[in-house]
Amino acid sequence: MMAAGGAVPLLAANAFDAPAQNGATLAQAAAHNGRVYGAAVRIRRIDAEQDYRQAVVQECALLVPEYEMNWNEIEPAYGQLSFDRIDALVDFATDQGKKLRGHVLFWHLGVPEWASAMLRERRDWGLVNHYVGFVMTRYRDLVHQWTVVNEAIDPGQRSDGLRNSIYLEAFGPGYIHRAFTLARGLAPNGLLLLSDYGLEYDNAEQRARRYYFLKLIERLKGAGTPLDCIGLQGHLDLRLGQVSAPAIAAFLRELNDMNLPVMVTELDVKESQYVASAQERDRMVADETRRYLDAVLSHGRCLGVTTWGLSDRHSWIIEITPQDYARFPGAWKNGESPGINRGLPLSWEMKPKPMYFALRDALWRIRLRR
Ligand code: 9MR
């Protein structure tokens, strides 16, 4: 727990384990409790940046292609499949003895434009089957888990809370069950995940997201959908205040009752105070990480954590919004620090930041629920 003033007694909560944790990597800290730690990676950067490559090899036991397995990457034009980049990533992971999450099979933002147009016109499951079939058959022996359906809910669009995606438009709400059935057939031993975001904060929008997500999961379980695990993306956002431990606990109880484990799949922290000192910013990011992981790891059966990137150098949050610019004029002068978001475990220079230690401490300290 946090001490007064927000200072973090890193090892006090688990003094007994402290000596063993010292020097552990994130992967080792996770494995200590039977979990896995990993990160989304970009193969072009791994090839180009030796220090990043080293950090990935050292800290991660599981790798997730940040974008290389998306349909629009693999089949940018109809019938033209290109596996070079994802092959390179899978080869790297395999050579280094890392596990892999296949990401992402059904995601509205991963559909190439040509396919959206064709799906809208023909409603032809064969198109989907083609891409998913190719990818899963090619990698099923090397990939341990799959994000099968991603971001299926978006409350406000329909009475069932589902996102009105191209999949829903073409195949109706039954597409989710169909997607999992297809995936199970192609990867009988893979851990199949349904993932979503916006499930951490106690505000009206996220309350609705939790509600509709649970309703969807209940329906899928009722229909016998082969769903193994729920992915909690965990894109934390300091602009929204602090994560709500009670809301997360209540949500996870429902999943426990349905006998579903979870994975934190895309952990990172969006900042709100870019002009504070780097030290203060890092403390806020670490505190939010700790609050979140304390809630998820203690209340859910959490099989592992993957951060969405490993170092601030490669965060997808690197592009600061126009609103951020407006709120903090001058903060990005000349592109110098504090211009970048500091929401991942390692700094731009690949040095561990307080978030790293918060993550490692939680992974080490909190036992996996059985
Ligand atoms: O971080 C990813 C970024 O590099 C890609 O350009 C983008 C499109 O493929 O996807 C980003 O990752 C998203 C993930 O696949 C699903 N959840 C939200 C992530 C951030 O947008």
Per-residue pLDDT of 183-229, as tens digits, reads: 999 999 999 999 999 999 999 999 999 999 999 999 999 999 999 99
Find tokens 């109809």 and name the residue: 78
Ligand 1 centroid–CA 166 distance in Å is 18
Cis peptide before 155 (omega within 30 of 0): no
Q: What is the mean pLDDT of the chain?
A: 92
What burial letters (b/e) apply to 210-249, b meaning 16+ CB within 10 Å? bebbbebbeebeeeebebbbbbbbbbbbbebeebbbebbe
The pLDDT, as a whole number, for residue 106 is 98
Average pLDDT over residues 341-364: 96
Please indicate, yes or no, if residue 178 is contained in any of the structural domains.
yes
Cα–Cα distance, 128 to 119 (Å, whole number):
9
Judge if the beta carbon of residue 66 lies within 6 A of ligand 1.
yes
Domains contained in the chain, number: 1
Please indicate, yes or no, if residue 70 is contained in any of the structural domains.
yes
The pLDDT, as a whole number, for residue 273 is 86
Please indicate, yes or no, if residue 104 is contained in any of the structural domains.
yes
Please indicate, yes or no, if residue 65 is contained in any of the structural domains.
yes
Q: 310 lies in which domain range?
A: 24-317+336-365
Judge if the beta carbon of residue 200 lies within 6 A of ligand 1.
no
Candidates 98, 42, 34, 93; CA nearest to 68 is 42
Average pLDDT over residues 131-137: 97
pLDDT one-digit tens code per residue, 239-260: 999 999 999 999 999 999 999 9
Candidates 307, 314, 222; CA nearest to 39 is 307
Average pLDDT over residues 171-189: 98
Q: Is 259 left (phi over 0), alpha (psi -120 to 50) or beta?
A: left
- pLDDT band of residue 338 (cuts 50, 70, 90) is low
Please indicate, yes or no, if residue 331 is contained in any of the structural domains.
no
Q: What is the pTM for the complete model shown?
A: 0.93
Cα–Cα distance, 239 to 325 (Å, whole number):
14
pLDDT of 325 strictly over 90: no
Average pLDDT over residues 104-122: 98
Atom of ligand 1 nearest to the CA of 150: 16
- pLDDT band of residue 9 (cuts 50, 70, 90) is very low
CATH number for position 245: 3.20.20.80
State percent of the chain over pLDDT 90: 85
pLDDT of 5 strictly over 80: no
Cα–Cα distance, 187 to 202 (Å, whole number):
37
Cα–Cα distance, 154 to 160 (Å, whole number):
9
Judge if the beta carbon of residue 230 lies within 6 A of ligand 1.
no
- pLDDT band of residue 278 (cuts 50, 70, 90) is confident
Judge if the beta carbon of residue 73 lies within 6 A of ligand 1.
no
Average pLDDT over residues 37-46: 98
The pLDDT, as a whole number, for residue 275 is 81
Please indicate, yes or no, if residue 289 is contained in any of the structural domains.
yes
pLDDT of 232 strictly over 90: yes
Please indicate, yes or no, if residue 47 is contained in any of the structural domains.
yes
pLDDT of 56 strictly over 70: yes
pLDDT of 3 strictly over 50: no
Please indicate, yes or no, if residue 12 is contained in any of the structural domains.
no
Average pLDDT over residues 282-291: 97
Mapped onto helix, strand or coil, the DSSP state of residue 15 is coil
Judge if the beta carbon of residue 41 lies within 6 A of ligand 1.
no
- Tally Cβ neighbours within 10 Å of residue 86: 21
The pLDDT, as a whole number, for residue 114 is 98
The pLDDT, as a whole number, for residue 297 is 98
